Structure 1
Amino acid sequence: MKRLALLAAAVAIGLSSLPAEAAKVRIGYWSSGVSLGFGSFLEAGKFMEKQGLEAEFVKFPDVNAPTKAMAASAIDFAIGASAGSAFSVAADGLPMSIVLATQVADLDFVVMADSPITKMEELKGKKIGMSPSGSATAAISSAILIKNYGMTASDFEAVPGADPRLAQFLVQKNIDAAALRTVTIALLPDVKLRKLSTFRAEWAKITGKPAAPVLGVGLMRNEWMKANPEAAAKVIAGMRNAFEAGKADKAAVAKALMAAGNIPEDDAKAYAALWDGIYTVSMEPADIASMKAEFEVFKSVGAVKGDLPDAALNPSPYEASKAIK
């Protein structure tokens, strides 16, 4: 009996020394726009794997698709879900939480250099290109025109499209103006554009604060987060480490973009140079207050409905991640 007891103890010790099975997380991101830069660098640098996670990256061709995929339990975390759609699902009570601010709205209102339009007030009655309905960019664009310039939704025609298509529409005179990401403008040196204003300046007029509006958020499925609290914190730690690494090594960011998006080297470098201004990984009290204010602005112009529950903005994984390197 004594021998059997010793054998059992030895087996127990051996099992306890085996490495724990890595938690699996399915991470989704839009394979275009601003999401492409962070997503491709996060994936190429294996920042999740360095946290001991088994990561599966799922790319989507549509800006609102990651949020829809999470609602269908097809992914566990979206690195840059549209703030607009994230606010909507949170207000509707769907089982997912905003756990990070990840992208800021670094966009400009632009026209062609030869356009007769010289100021924002003159956009009334015009065709304005912006991201598709449901995106944070569309909601912010509408809020700016309505709040700052006294327009109604019927005073301008919103023409939806991805940035490259909107730039093409501008050149072809199919639209009068567009809200374009600074990343996109940097990649169009041969297209002569004139800036009318910036999202940052216009948002400051609305809120009275200098911070740019949040464009993308880290959205996490509640069921997965509850089942994997330690892994949830590791996901945030991986995001934070990727953000800091991108700030320090723009060449690596450009390399990841070139590989993931088949982007020319000069374009990839121009994109990477904007890293510090278009991304963030934060869920401090100020971020939460900013997103609550943004929800109210969106609600005032009809972009979202209902109320945003406090529980929908969950800083717990972010706070727990501070103890992880």
Structure 2
Amino acid sequence: MNQITEVTRRDIIDILVNGFTHTVFVDKPHPDFFNYIESEDYDVKIDYWGRLDEITFLKRLYPLNQLPSFDSRFKDAEGDIWQHTVNNDDYGLGWVFDDDRFHLSSGNDDKYLLDFLCEILHPAVRDDKKNWRALLEILNELLQPDGYSINPVANISGRDIYGWKNLRIGEKVVTGQIDNIKNAFNSDYVTVQVDLMYSLIHIAPNSAIGKAKELIEICCKTILDEQNIQYDSGLDLIQLMKVACESIGLSPKKLKDGVTGQSIAARILGNLGNIAQGMAELRNLYGDGHGKNKSFQPLPPRYAHLAVGSSVAAVHFMWDTYQERIGISEV
């Protein structure tokens, strides 16, 4: 199993050795206009061994007393590593990634690197005073194009334990649709919102749900604005989506009688409205736009995946339909 490219490995190792710049998008209020998004950059450097030392960390993953020593004075890797990282400290920065015993920078099995990354994020290892969530975010950004993601798989003392998985085909489709949406709208604001929505799925599911709802709103308003169709700015999401869909013929009422599969098509089109309704309800209950009491429990990331996937699929379908209808009276 070797899906992680040389380029991705290089980038991952670089951020673990040298750190990285983390960009945070912050909603800023404006006294006269809508809120706007402002980016703030922070330098992040996290030692992979976290609150442990290198040897203790590596022993969680590898049987160091069974691996060979590169120093003839020691019988195994543990003694070798101690000599050159503790006693003399003459191994270079990031030495572990160039050490063939650990299969991190090369090899035919991605498992070694993926297990290594997940262990960095383990509650017994990570330093919660450091911005490890930013590390998780950038690791997923790098891994997802190669078909992997790092997600919570268990919990200990109220803290997530992470594992890795191959992305399902459906998730790859969603990622492709997201890229298409960014290209279609050709807007810096939309690009920022879409990237933010997808990156928040695992680290802030409630915020991802809010962004998923906003994406549908942006699509509906863009479709109506480009057709010079007036609409009430006070429409809720369900009403807005109904108006937008009817404007491009996506309404069960506009299906021609006698068309094969008419009832099936009508149900599918009706489900677009259900997506809007469900998104609005999720937003009200779990989104980041409303105050929460201290007993509030956020949704698991899988629900954010569902919300984002549904939003992206609906927007992709509506925008494709609108594009097909430009200059055409009927689809």
Normalised-by-shorter TM-score class: under 0.3
So what's the TM-score if we normalise by structure 1?
0.20
So what's the TM-score if we normalise by structure 2?
0.20
Q: Which has the higher contact order (CA 8 A, sep 6+)?
A: 1
Structure number with greater Rg is 2
Which structure: greater helix fraction?
2
Which structure: greater strand fraction?
1
